[in-house]
Chain A
């Protein structure tokens, strides 16, 4: 059926974003055993950041209203590229700051307290967004042209029919980022620490590796990944304050659950699986899609709590 290819593509595209989200969450979870419920808020910030850098939309509500402009979302290719470069850098800085001021005081606290406080932080960030920007959703800011190529509109793809071009870009972009992250983790010293940390964070600490710097790095990278996911996601879905939890935090956690806490490969695999399952049901039985998705994860949690590749015993 023609639909299958379309489902596969959409599943891949969603899955790629989920994978990015899960990746960021899992490296923080694995290295520092820190449960960051504010991860979705980082996605949110990334999405809004992209929005503003692209800067073709005007803010009509909230405290920043007054920037005159059209409430249309027409992005130039170049501003998107700028966003692509700036967003991870800014998010990295935010991540490092978050590690220093939010995570570090909480490392010794109980799990419940970590969950509660990061949940509170996520709430505050979401509400700040609502206050400063307004709760009206901004339609996606996908550019029409990128580097000279036409990326807007739909292409006639064999087997699928008409399919939005931009989604191909998203798939390519997301997998490029995933690949980059994977390489970094496999090939660099930083990555070694992440891997060692996800195997045995106690050990890493005891080995006297400058753990505070590493933690800051890991958090920064995790935040950058979340922000990138938000940037990319913001080109597909409407950007509104609620997306932090609905479109980001929940899928991020579900991805980590499926893939296994602390596993990089797991986050990638888990994200794609989740994206596929979601896409299948969105097409076939949209009313049931969310229910089945959550049910699927529940079953996973009950049957394979360690996920597919998990190594860190979090919460056991």
Chain B
């Protein structure tokens, strides 16, 4: 039973760069529909871990299973096609394309797969793509800006566009790498509301990397704490809060 509801499982995941071990023997599970947080001081290996799972890096050891299938070592686009999506830490958008085109890119891939020979078919006839894009843009409240070039958006809007793009891939599992970094308090609240709403409506599983503890405690079901590549705690927010190892790791850092 636990096998079936675990949407993501890593087993002994390890990544070494020469002499440096960035991720060390990480066993992590994510249950379908939950909001999982990964926290840790800078350099703890959070980003490396995400890059391993999303295919940007190949692990030195260990494996990753998504929805029961082994995705270890697969290419990023293959993993995305299976239902994993990621919103980047810095807004990774297409600057010289409109907001609408940005989101349509993701919708294109979700609707049509990783590659097609359709270089002679007119893309303005793809209504499903347009519909998905519209839906996501409305969800992040960027629909009225759809004709604006992405590079002309204010930073907070760029982050929201980033999320819209990630959502337009219609994922089952969404990684969010510091989604509220650089946002004002109002924008942060709006983003968190969005994340909660999206999860409710779409039944998404979310894995969140964050530094902002308030957010974590507000929406996370379980938290994994990474320090120097190893998981030092993996439990509910309350349990993690009281964990002495975690407090030590954060000494001089973020207060819980």
Direct A–B contact present (CB less than 8 angstroms): no
